[in-house]
Chain A
């Protein structure tokens, strides 16, 4: 049994599970939409103001929606004991963690990415920035899932993990937020965006290589 086969099998299992509880996919999306709707209601529907805020608002809302879904990466596996079995399987745990994070992103991050342009339009974002918005989310949201996996792995054994999880994870999300929103802002003002996107890509590469290892060692601690 190669590691790759195991990776694919676990990925398929998690996707199959997600398909059998579809509400869990829809709820964070609904949350994302609602948060974005709250902003014009809170700050007023003045088009210039909304347009200027749109990049930041979409990114902050995406970040909160991602935070909301994090717990599902490991929680149900922890509760029914499959996480123990994963730890005791004859595969490197960090690769298994990566499979679970990829599945989680496909189920929660990807839909977010697809809905984002629609919501950006509601806020009057320039259509020139849409491509960059999608691209920045494409590079940024996997980083959110990867960093989040470490936080969940650390808190999965706790009964009331929700608030602590956000305390741990939100400060670590700041760089992604800064460069994600800045890329979209730059695109809207017609400035080059390659630099910001490269940095987001660098964050992704770094998170891909380090986060699964950190999350795996955190899981071992949480399960002991």
Chain B
């Protein structure tokens, strides 16, 4: 159903294991075939890292995996159900941090995350705890446009913690972070993976993870 938002809950995914699967997806942009017949899956405790040169469709694949874009062929399934059919459940258990921070500059980090929490459901951490975890304690009430680019990115990444997301989809999460910021985010990822969460990401940086199974997919090949 491309037309109406399907709000029917097909299965309750809260207690089931995490499993995202792309089944022979194909996507082309402006007559250029980015990938075809691509199948990939990720489960709880696994990190899938997408690699490849610029323009090979890493971002496009991420957007397909999180349901922002539909593949030309094939489908993406969440616990075996096509994501269009379980959109509400899927979105409740998935969080996406893209190139854009998704943060309103005029609002404080606290206000930004509150809205998100109301829209996507409460998680294990409160907004304050999440901001503390990304080392933004003390900056909660300042409008985001007074923060540095790195702090802004951390405010965006605090989104990972405030909802009950079991699947993280991250597009270049380390952009504008300094060494400490990167280490911080990597430790958050380790915690997430050891708690049987799943992770799909792209990164130009080398990713150092000490927990979970790391899978790599290079889009430049084939």
Contacts and interface: CB of A to CB of B under 8 A. Distances in A.
Direct contact of A and B (CB under 8 A): yes
Interface of A: 1, 5-6, 9-10, 13, 16-17, 20-21, 79-82, 84-94, 96, 213, 216-217, 223-224
Contacts, number: 94
A9 B111 CA distance: 10
A80 B118 contact: no
B119 A87 contact: no
B119 A10 contact: yes
Nearest to A17: B106
Interface of B is mostly: loop
Given A82-B103, A94-B5, A88 B116 contact: no
Given A17-B104, A90-B88, A93-B5, A84 B96 contact: yes
Given A94-B5, A217-B2, A224-B70, A81 B121 contact: no
Interface string B99-125: 111111111000100111011111000
B98 A81 contact: yes
A86 B104 CA distance: 12
B38 to A, nearest CB: 18
A10 B159 CA distance: 17
Contacts of B4: 213, 217
A6 B116 CA distance: 9
A21 B106 contact: yes
A79 B106 CA distance: 14
Interface of B: 2-5, 7, 63, 66-70, 88-89, 91-92, 94-96, 98-107, 111, 114-116, 118-122, 143, 159
B70 A90 contact: no
Contacts of B98: 81, 84
Contacts of A13: 104, 107, 111, 115
> Which of A10, A91, A93, A96 gathers the greatest number of chain B CB atoms within 10 Å?
A91
19 contacts: A1-B121, A1-B122, A9-B114, A9-B119, A13-B104, A81-B102, A81-B103, A84-B68, A84-B102, A88-B68, A88-B94, A90-B89, A92-B7, A92-B88, A217-B2, A217-B3, A217-B4, A223-B68, A224-B68
B102 A91 contact: no
A6 B104 contact: no
Among all A-B residue pairs, the 5 with the closest Cβ atoms: A81-B100, A81-B102, A89-B119, A90-B92, A9-B118
A102 to B, nearest CB: 16
A16 B68 contact: no
B79 to A, nearest CB: 16
Contacts of B94: 88
Contacts of A6: 118-119
A16 B107 contact: yes
A88 to B, nearest CB: 5
A224 B104 CA distance: 21
Contacts of A80: 100-105
Contacts of B103: 80-82
Contacts of A93: 5
> Which of B91, B96, B119, B159 gathers the greatest number of chain A CB atoms within 10 Å?
B119
Contacts of B143: 20
Contact of A86 (B7, B119, B122): B119
Nearest to A79: B100
Given A17-B107, A85-B159, 7 more contacts: A1-B118, A21-B106, A81-B99, A84-B98, A85-B96, A85-B116, A86-B119
B91 A88 contact: yes
A13 B14 CA distance: 28
Nearest to A9: B118
Nearest to A2: B118
A90 B106 CA distance: 24
B25 to A, nearest CB: 14
Contacts of A87: 68
Contact of A90 (B3, B91, B105, B115): B91
